Chain A
Amino acid sequence: MEGDLAHIGAGLAAIGSGAAAIGVGNVAGNYLAGALRNPSAAASQTATLFIGIAFAEALGIFSFLVALLLMFAV
């Protein structure tokens, strides 16, 4: 019974990756919108783009980690 609940929890934790997808999409979409308005400034901001994506993605990876812990450690 306890194991079944852990599996349900792992599935719920996977929702977090969808939320992270929204965040990463937001960052990339806004970068593209800005880059198309001012293409000459786009190249200098790619580092910022990747940092932003990394921060947004980190929290999705945390939820993946929670899912892994529930699957294998509980």
Chain B
Amino acid sequence: MASEAHGAETGGLVFHPMDQFIVKPLFGGDTIEWYTITNVTLWMAIAVLAVIAMMVLGTSRRAMIPSRSQSVGELAYGFVYKMVEDVAGKDALKFFPYIMTLFMFIVFANFLGLIPMSFTTTSHFAVTVVLALLVFLTVTIVGFVKNGVGFLGLFWVSSAPLALRPILAVIELISYFVRPVSHSIRLAGNVMAGHAVIKVFAGFAAIAVVSPVSVVAITAMYGLEVLVAFIQAYVFTILTCVYLKDALHPSH
């Protein structure tokens, strides 16, 4: 249905705003197997290499007076460390490496996706669902290992009246299992929506009358997207911390 409309419009939209999210194999071939190297693989690898470059190479020559890359690395480290400590508590700090990895990967994938002609890996649900499911599994396993059956106290709100508790338990159970859904869709949805809006305005730029307005709109949206790229990584990380806090201290 959508593919029929490709380039069919006269004058206006000559490309589809969702075309930028198509997964293509890099080295020819039409079928995509699990091992096929696609543009997603490429941009994920670039994101990982960029994180390594900043955090390992940037801080390899530790100096009293930090170089520019070292101070950026220290800033990112301190930012996430403080967030884990404040939101999830001191005993959650042993999960700091995991949360730091999540934050750095998402922030780099988001920002690399903002480079024109690049591919945004975090705009795909397949990517974010894996990240969110890993967080969900980690949190659930940690909760049961740390608290045993007491972890189920998370669903039994002891401060509520007794008659209400079974109803609340059902609601809490549903909200617990919706977590990975909303956790992943929030990131992918925000990033995808922003990029699609930019492409929609880019389609209007082909019409001479509205093209100045559309170029200004693209610039404004791009500025907003830079903000969104960071905020969504921040939100993903902080929600991981909140879930971790629930797992470590399940009592309400």
Binds A, one of B134-142, B165-173, B232-240: B232-240
- On whether the beta carbons of B238 and A47 are closer than 8 Å, the reply is yes
Distance in angstroms between the alpha carbons of A72 and B22 in the assembled complex: 13
- On whether the beta carbons of B186 and A54 are closer than 8 Å, the reply is yes
Residues of B within 8 A of A72 (CB): 1-2, 18
Q: Is the CB of B83 closer than 8 A to any CB of chain A? A: yes
Residues of A within 8 A of B185 (CB): 58, 61-62, 65
Q: Is the CB of A32 closer than 8 A to any CB of chain B? A: no
- On whether the beta carbons of B235 and A50 are closer than 8 Å, the reply is yes
Among A3, A54, A57, A71: residue with most chain B CB under 10 A: A54
Among A3, A6, A58, A64: residue with most chain B CB under 10 A: A58
Distance in angstroms between the alpha carbons of A65 and B186 in the assembled complex: 10
- On whether the beta carbons of A50 and B238 are closer than 8 Å, the reply is yes
Q: Smallest Cβ distance from B206 to chain A, in angstroms?
A: 22
Q: Smallest Cβ distance from A50 to chain B, in angstroms?
A: 6
Q: Is the CB of B242 closer than 8 A to any CB of chain A? A: yes
Please list the residues of chain A having a beta carbon within 8 angstroms of any beta carbon in chain B: 3, 6, 47, 50-51, 53-54, 57-58, 61-62, 64-65, 71-72
A/B interface sample: 13 pairs, CB < 8 A: A47-B83, A47-B87, A50-B231, A50-B234, A51-B239, A51-B242, A54-B186, A54-B235, A57-B190, A58-B182, A62-B185, A65-B189, A71-B1
